[in-house]
């Protein structure tokens, strides 16, 4: 076997000298290097911002969605949406392990895993798209993928259905980062709180903020707000358009008695929601932009433009123990487990 770079730079076709994620094209030949893992792919869980954009472009047409996805992989050798730059993750079965990794990792051929690195850097081939589940951003395929030596993964747990585990692990970074950021007594706002990542963030925020804190859920429609209200994961539930910064700001001012929020977590899968998060944050507070639809330029210049001295955290999808945190929520809360099972499993 050929020797590979731990970070997968040996797979980069263009431009040379960059890592696989920012590369515009990678080598998706499935003959593995000595430090790679070959995966027989079962399901792709497409990043929410990416899948929303693809569905909009396809006007909801499933065959057009398939065509766009196949085109992305053909052009780039990976599923990296050229508009959003984001990918997603996958579940599959370990088919082959490179000679340099044998005996050094806790995997064997036949293990079912979820990759915890983005499809935007993962060499991928799609032989066939079997099923598109538009309501949960999941696509069943026949295909193969490569996991680099530096790539992180999780073995699929036996006590949680596969599609449910995939959906939860896809956004595992959000609740785990929430655990790091929320302090007792904090006022916390989650924009896009009725979404897959948003509910998990609300759950952790409610535990950590405690009785002295306030947790606020904002989502676009009254229908989705009502569904989340039944889960009891927040103190206040507000229907508002996150692209309308003034509307959100005024409603947050109202429920916080003009004090605004210590922490705002943005899980909205659409663009132009940066200022709703920024205006809702008190001076020296923190905004955690988990959404891949976030524009750094809009956030940085927008905060400057309204004179907000706040900390802005980029939504790193990885933090130590994030998969355990996300899966543990499904074990701790029957209400959330039942809700997510109904939606995703």
Q: Is the pLDDT of residue 270 over 90?
A: no
Query: Which has more pLDDT, 49 or 260?
Result: 260
Q: Is the pLDDT of residue 299 over 90?
A: yes
pTM of the model: 0.84
pLDDT of residue 189: 98
Q: What mean pLDDT comes out for the span 4-29?
A: 97
Distance CA 219, CA 270 (A): 12
Structure tokens at 227: 């569904």
| Of 128, 161, 164, nearest in space to 144 by CA | 128
Distance CA 290, CA 197 (A): 9
pLDDT of residue 182: 98
pLDDT of residue 49: 87
- What ranges do the domains of the chain cover? 9-156, 173-344
Say how many C-beta atoms besides its own lie within 10 A of residue 27's C-beta. 17
The average confidence (pLDDT) of the chain is 95
Structure tokens at 88: 């997603």
My answer on whether omega of the bond before 15 falls inside 30° of 0, hence cis, is: yes
Q: Which CATH class is domain 173-344?
A: alpha beta
pLDDT of residue 87: 94
* Rounded alpha-carbon distances, angstroms, from residue 110 to 40, 127, 161: 10, 20, 18
């Amino acid at each position: 076997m050929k020797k590979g770079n731990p970070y997968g730079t040996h797979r980069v076709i263009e431009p040379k000298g960059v890592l696989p994620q920012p590369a515009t094209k990678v080598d998706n030949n499935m003959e593995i290097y000595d430090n790679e893992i070959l995966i027989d792919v079962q399901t792709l869980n497409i990043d929410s911002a990416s899948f929303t954009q693809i569905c909009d472009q396809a006007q909801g047409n499933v065959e057009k969605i398939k065509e766009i996805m196949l085109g992305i992989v053909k052009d780039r050798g990976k599923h990296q949406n050229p508009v959003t730059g984001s990918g997603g993750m996958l579940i599959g079965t370990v088919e082959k392990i490179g000679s340099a990794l044998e005996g050094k990792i806790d995997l064997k051929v036949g293990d079912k895993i979820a990759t915890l690195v983005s499809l935007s850097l993962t060499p991928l081939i799609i032989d066939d798209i079997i099923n598109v589940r538009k309501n949960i951003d999941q696509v069943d395929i026949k295909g193969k993928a490569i996991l680099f030596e530096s790539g992180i993964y999780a073995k699929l747990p036996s006590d949680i259905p596969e599609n449910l585990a995939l959906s939860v692990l896809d956004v595992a970074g959000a609740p785990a980062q929430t655990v790091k950021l929320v302090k007792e007594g904090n006022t916390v706002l989650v924009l896009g709180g009725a979404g897959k990542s948003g509910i998990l963030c609300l759950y952790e925020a409610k535990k950590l903020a405690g009785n002295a804190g306030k947790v606020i859920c904002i989502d676009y429609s009254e229908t989705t707000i009502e569904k989340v209200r039944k889960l009891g994961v927040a103190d206040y539930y507000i229907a508002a358009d996150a692209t309308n910064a003034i509307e959100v700001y005024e409603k947050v001012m109202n429920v916080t008695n003009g004090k605004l929020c210590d922490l705002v977590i943005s899980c909205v899968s659409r663009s132009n929601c940066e200022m709703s998060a920024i205006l809702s944050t008190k001076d020296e507070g923190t905004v955690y932009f988990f959404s891949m639809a976030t524009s750094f330029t809009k956030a940085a210049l927008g905060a400057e433009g309204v004179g907000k001295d706040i900390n802005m955290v980029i939504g790193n999808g990885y933090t130590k123990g994030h998969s355990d945190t996300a899966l543990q929520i499904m074990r701790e809360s029957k209400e959330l487990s039942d809700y997510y099972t109904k939606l995703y499993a």
